[in-house]
Amino acid sequence: MLRFSIWFFVLCVHWQVVLGRAIPSDIELDKRQSPNIPLRILPLGASITYGIHSSDGNGFRRRLKDQLRSEGWEVNMVGSQNSGNMRDNDVEARPGNTIDQVRAATSPSLPCRPNIVLINAGTNDCRLNIDIPNAGARMRSLIENILSAADMRDTLIVLSTLLPSGNADISRNTPAVNDQYRALVRTMRGQGTRIVLAEMSGLVYPEDFTQGGQVDDTHPGDGGYAKMALIWHDAILDAARQGLIPRRASLNGGLSCDRRRGDDL
């Protein structure tokens, strides 16, 4: 009777695994891990991060925040700029900025001590043919500038590859820059930096760059931004599983970085 009970238990477990019942889903895992660390996210970049060509001006940010919150995360976007009709529309992005200009523009947001920095930058370097062989080195300088700020050494960096484009110069230069970014993430991760890659190669031109019947050669439409949000989301969850997201203390001293009433919208 005991032997039968043991074999019956093993058989039940086997079929639960086969049917997927004994393996927690990604959502179940993420809900178990997520509530303990409030996220203070700095979206950093140029016009794509700003949300140009999206119908609401939010770009990927509203969709990303909504998805994370639906899974139990507490999320606060930070940045010295504002874009979009979402209430929590803080961002650090200026249309037209190159990698070096993005680096120079980070200073106002770093006192907010974000525990996640999302970086999408380099498209304008490609458009302007700015020293493409050293784009990865400039990106490394940008990242190191962030991590050298006060209380930022353990911040999670999520670096995205560049999007496809209908612009000839961007399209020609993007593969080389993306290869440098992928290598940079591998190198810095091997050196102990908390960094993961958000691989944006899944976006398709021109389908994901069409909004209201108009195709933009650089900026996604709402559908493309939705894809970006999902890719950012998955990269953040991957980092969470690896224990790469640090906890941040509440801020003092009058900074407007902490969540305000209504920021959940």
The H or E element that residue 126 is part of is: helix 123-127
Judge whether 253 lies within some domain. Answer: no
Please indicate whether residue 1 or residue 21 has the higher confidence score (pLDDT): 1
Residue 34, domain member (yes or no): no
Model's pTM, two decimal places? 0.86
Residue 12 lies in a domain: no
Q: Which of 53-62, 184-193, 249-258 has the lowest mean pLDDT?
A: 249-258
CATH number of the domain encompassing residue 218: 3.40.50.1110
- Residue 139: which domain range? 39-242
What residue type is assigned to position 235 of the chain?
A
User: How far apart are the C-alpha atoms of 156 and 153, rounded to whole Å?
Assistant: 9
Beta strands per DSSP E along 121-218: 156-160, 195-198, 210-211, 214-215
Examine residue 256 and state whether it is found in any structural domain, yes or no.
Answer: no
Question: What is the rounded CA–CA span in Å between residue 26 and residue 9?
Answer: 25
SS3 state of residue 12: helix
Residue 47: both structure tokens together = 């016009």
In a domain, 18, yes or no: no
pLDDT digits 0-9 by tens, 102-158: 999 999 999 999 999 999 999 999 999 999 999 999 999 999 999 999 999 999 999
Sort strands 75-77 and 195-198 into parallel, antiparallel or unpaired. unpaired
**Contact assessment for residue 84 and residue 62, using Cβ atoms and an 8 Å cutoff:** yes
What confidence tens digit (pLDDT) does each residue in 158-179 have?
A: 999 999 999 999 999 999 999 9
Task: Report the number of distinct structural domains present in the chain.
Answer: 1
| Inside any domain, residue 88 | yes
Look at strands 214-215 and 210-211 and give their pairing.
Answer: antiparallel
Residue 259 has pLDDT above 70, yes or no: no
What percent of the chain shows pLDDT beyond 70? 81
- C-alpha neighbours within 13 Å on the C-beta side of residue 190: 6
Q: Taking 60 as the threshold, does the pLDDT of residue 32 lie above it?
A: no
Q: Is residue 1 part of a domain?
A: no
Residue 258 in domain: no
